[in-house]
């Protein structure tokens, strides 16, 4: 239980770790997809130097990469969200901590809102088409206010709804 005692006060900080890293991976994923699509377009545009089998496999790999990356980002979000709920549920705390959690959650909420406007700005750049290949992650990033609020509410409920295990 030593790890959980050291986690006090970081319940609302989890939101930064999860959503900032999701944002960074979203950007890296968009750049990766843009690069792969550019390479694949050049690969498909070659003449007889490249076999048709190679072109077909290159196209299949590019399509597979986009789907796996999109699903991987969402899976990562769900796993960390569930992990945060579990640690919040087993965290020993005092009633004063709920006030600290609420205030820290508000700060987190307003501190992370600029990420949503950055995503909107990025979608209007040359990388916009690459971000379109990540529909689930784009949905989360475009509705970041809702997801951050849901994260904070579920973690707050997990903090409040705990029980004492064996005294």
In angstroms, the Cα distances linking 159 to 155, 166, 167 are 6, 18, 17
Mean residue pLDDT across the chain: 81
Mean pLDDT of 40-50: 81
Rounded CA-CA distance 12/1 in Å is: 20
Write out the H or E segment, with its range, that includes residue 66.
Answer: helix 52-89
Supply the pLDDT for residue 55.
85
Question: To the nearest whole percent, how much of the chain has pLDDT over 70?
Answer: 87
Rounded CA-CA distance 31/127 in Å is: 7
Q: Which residue has the higher pLDDT, 127 or 150?
A: 150
What predicted TM-score, i.e. pTM, was given to this entire model?
0.78
């Amino acid at each position: 239980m030593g790890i959980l005692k050291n986690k006090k006060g970081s319940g609302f900080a989890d939101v930064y770790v999860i959503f900032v890293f999701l944002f960074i991976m979203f950007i890296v994923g968009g750049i990766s997809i843009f690069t792969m699509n550019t390479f694949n377009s050049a690969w498909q545009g070659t003449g007889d130097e490249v076999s048709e089998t190679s072109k077909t496999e290159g196209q299949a790999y590019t399509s597979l990469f986009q789907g796996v990356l999109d699903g991987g980002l969402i899976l990562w979000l769900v796993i960390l969200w569930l992990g945060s709920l579990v640690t919040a549920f087993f965290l020993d705390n005092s009633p004063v901590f709920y006030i600290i959690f609420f205030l820290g959650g508000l700060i987190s909420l307003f501190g992370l809102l600029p990420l949503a406007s950055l995503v909107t700005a990025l979608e209007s750049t040359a990388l916009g088409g690459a971000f379109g290949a990540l529909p689930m992650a784009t949905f989360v990033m475009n509705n970041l206010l809702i997801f951050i609020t849901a994260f904070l509410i579920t973690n707050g409920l997990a903090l409040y709804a705990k029980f004492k295990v064996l005294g």
